[in-house]
Amino acid sequence: MSFRDQLHALYAPHQKPGHLSFTYGTAGFRTLASTLDSVVFTVGILASLRSKYLNGQTIGIMITASHNPPQDNGIKLIDPQGEMLEASWEAYATKLANLGTEEEVFAEVERLAQNLGIDLNDGVSGNVIIARDSRESGLALTKATIDGLKTMGTKVTDYQLLTTPELHYLVKCINTQGAYGEVSEVGYYKKLSTAFRNIYENFVQSDSKIQITIDAANGIGGPKAETLFTEYLSQYVDFQLVNNQYQDPQALNVGSGADFVKTNQKLPNNITPEPLKLYASFDGDADRVVFYYVDSNSVFKLLDGDKIATLLAGFFKDLVSKSPAKLSESCQIGVVQTAYANGSSTNHITDVLQVPVVCTPTGVKHLHHEAAKFDIGVYFEANGHGTVLFSESLLSLLQTIEPSTPQEQRSIQTLIEISNLINQTVGDAISDLLTVLIVLSIKQWTPDNWDESYTDLPNRLAKVIVPDRHVFKTINAERQLTSPKGLQLQIDDAVSKYNGGRSFVRASGTEDAVRVYAEAASKSECEELSKEVCELVK
Ligand code: NG1
């Protein structure tokens, strides 16, 4: 059947309700799940077009709303190398999702196909893999997406419940014909656990197992981490899982998870902390992680994305400096952050580690692209979303370079194994967790050794509900507003009154709100500044 006929057969139940509008934002479409049926249907069509445009390479579709509350859901597309959807296609996604009739959808798809040189009737089908997190709405939305895929006869494999990074992994494995890893969830576990085991056996000097307690946010990361640790790594890691009720969708992210811990700067439910032991929290789809501990005075200490970035940047800097000259002299290490990074972390990385820092707009796709410009590109959002990218040229050099000392051999081997351990496609709570655990073990660091590298400036991230967040427009990696007119001058004026003050305002890409970030030299000044800027925004 032609696209026209298939669309006609499948469209009616997926018509867009008239009053709604949708935007492909920071992390795809994300909103109340009950409003998303028509959107995911059009995403199915677009994914088919994308795959056909890329000569049948496999595209990923993930149905998740990450850290959002249980009643939300979302959908995002994954490009062939496991990266986020190319930016120019986000506009096509938005356009398609906002059309109200079958005729309009047909005309737009024809127009797109013509502009992009795609033959809708060549009989060659696209290829897509799809998965979802543990939300109640996930199954129905998967079915609606598959209806969209059927309009173009696209071949689809439904992997059902996965973490977002697992799906990114699978997309890359398929399109590299297995060069990145085996095309299965077991392949993912094997790749991570083999790298972890190789580093542990060769470079960790310890008689006791690594201890970690993980708050899984009652999301899909829980059962996946459980499988990995029990079936593959039980020799090395003693783990405990809390908030692992992923079969209870109403519990997702409630009083738990990386976003809760980072935003509230406090322990999640169900953790009774022992001093100086390490804890970690995932978010709902396990693409971010934050760590924390309580010190000997029972004070809660957060080890967020900034701390992860500094830990890893310092570790790589050290390894590279102990590598053969051919590598240490050419290897460019860089850290990529957003404006939400704590000012102290940026100073520490530039001044103490002497590693260059680049600032990009929010959203991992921006950080990922910048990180890919370095040989070792460490990127983390403050909220714990990030990874480390290794350039192809560094990876080939590592395979061929001859060490002349045991130390050089160690450095080369560790770099190779970590490039296998840390997800090369996207931020991944499970792979980041393993990387941090192994680095801390090699360095024989306790959580407070890690924490003491620098002290965060007091900071506050607030949310303000405004009539129309889209009027807030920014430049300079979101650090300055150009609209509403005059507001930036008022913010600058407020900031100038506080020691070490910094504040910026931007519209959220995932929630209907404006975010206000403030930091200052003292807690009271930070609170005052935050309050003042929030008032200006209202
Ligand atoms: P928005 O809602 O655009 O601020 C949030 C996070 C991002 C990113 C996305 C995707 C903050 C301040 N913002 O984006 O870093 O993780 O969600 O999940 O944490």
The pLDDT tens digits for 170-199 are 999 999 999 999 999 999 999 999 999 999
Which pLDDT belongs to residue 22? 95
Nearest CA-CA partner of 335 in 321, 365, 314: 314
Spacing, Cα 17 to ligand 1 middle (Å): 27
Whether the Cβ atoms of residue 458 and residue 503 lie closer than 8 Å to each other = no
Measured in angstroms, how far is the CA atom of residue 420 from the centroid of ligand 1?
27
Q: Give, as one character, the DSSP assignment of residue 162.
A: -
Q: How far, in Å, CA of 284 to CA of 394, rounded?
A: 33
CB-ligand 1 contact for 505 (6 Å cutoff): no
pLDDT bucket at 19, cuts 50 / 70 / 90 = confident
Residue with tokens 């390479």: 57
CB neighbours of 157 closer than 8 A, spacing ≥ 6?
128, 129, 130
DSSP-assigned beta bridge partners for residue 506: 515
DSSP 155: E
pLDDT for 207 beyond 90: no
User: What's the pLDDT at 102?
Assistant: 98
Residue 230 buriedness (CB in 10 A; 0-12 / 13-18 / 19+): exposed
Is the minimum distance from the CB of 421 to ligand 1 under 6 angstroms? no
**Ligand 1 pocket residue status of 509, Cβ below 6 Å:** yes
CB of 249 within 8 A of CB of 70?
yes
CA neighbours within 13 Å on the CB side: how many for 330?
A: 11
Instruction: Clarify whether residues 310 and 294 are in a common domain.
Output: no
Name the residue range of residue 35's domain: 3-161
Question: What's the confidence (pLDDT) of residue 510?
Answer: 80
Percent of the chain with pLDDT over 90: 96
- 322-351: pLDDT as tens digits: 999 999 999 999 999 999 999 999 999 999
Q: How confident is the model at residue 26 (pLDDT cuts 50, 70, 90)?
A: confident
Of residues 25 and 62, more confidently modeled: 62
pLDDT in tens, 400-425: 999 999 999 999 999 999 999 999 99
Each residue's pLDDT tens digit, 106-141: 999 999 999 999 999 898 999 999 999 999 999 999
- Residue where one domain finishes, among candidates 451, 483, 501: 451
**Side chain identity at residue 421, one-letter code:** L
pLDDT of the residue at 113: 97
Distance CA 24, CA 27 (A): 7
Are 230 and 320 in the same domain?
no
User: Do residues 17 and 35 lie in contact, with contact meaning Cβ atoms separated by under 8 Å?
Assistant: yes
pLDDT of residue 25: 85
Distance 325 CA to ligand 1 centre (A): 40
Residue nearest to atom 11 of ligand 1 (CA): 383
Contact 460, 527 (CB under 8 A): yes
Atom 7 in ligand 1: residue holding the nearest Cα: 363
How far is the C-alpha of 253 from the C-alpha of 69, rounded, in Å?
6
Tell me, in angstroms, the distance from the centre of ligand 1 to residue 81's CA.
23
Indicate the pLDDT class of residue 266, thresholds 50, 70 and 90.
very high
Q: Which atom of ligand 1 is nearest to the CA of 288?
A: 16
Neighbours of 428 (CB within 10 A): 30
For residue 14, what is the domain's CATH number? Answer: 3.40.120.10
Indicate the top mutation candidate among 68, 362, 368, 515 to test ligand 1's pocket, ranked by most ligand atoms within 8 A of CB: 362
User: Is any ligand 1 atom within 6 A of the Cβ of residue 381?
Assistant: yes
Which domain-ending residue is among 435, 451, 467? 451
Same domain (yes/no): 13, 88: yes
Q: Which atom of ligand 1 is nearest to the CA of 27?
A: 10
Arithmetic mean of pLDDT, 494-519? 95
Mean pLDDT for the stretch of residues 36-43: 98
Over range 7-32, report the average pLDDT.
93
- Please check whether residue 70 is in contact with residue 172, taking contact to mean a CB–CB distance below 8 angstroms: no
Interface ipTM: 0.98
Catalytic residue list? 66
419 within 8 A of 392, measured Cβ to Cβ: no
- What CATH number does residue 477 fall under? 3.30.310.50
Predicted confidence (pLDDT) at residue 509 exceeds the cutoff of 90: no
What does the pLDDT average to over 188-215?
A: 95
Give all strands (DSSP E) within 151-216, no chain letters. 155-161, 210-215
Assess if residue 180 is contained within a domain: no
- pLDDT for position 420: 97
CA of 509 to the centre of ligand 1 (A): 7
Count of structural domains within the chain = 4
CB 270 within 8 A of CB 215: yes
Check whether residue 433 and residue 498 sit in a common domain. no
pLDDT at residue 315 greater than cutoff 90: yes
Q: How far is the CA of 138 from the centre of ligand 1 (A)?
A: 21
54 & 138 share domain: yes
Binned at pLDDT 50, 70 and 90, residue 18 comes out as confident
Tell me the DSSP string of 461-520: EEEE--S-GGG-EEETTTTEEEESTTHHHHHHHHHTTSTT-EEEEEE-SSSSSEEEEEE-
Show which of 402, 433, 451 is a domain's final residue.
Answer: 451
- CA quadruple 479, 484, 486, 491: dihedral positive or negative? negative
Is the distance from the beta carbon of residue 142 to the nearest atom of ligand 1 less than 6 Å? no
26 lines ligand 1 (CB under 6 A): yes
Mean pLDDT of the chain: 97
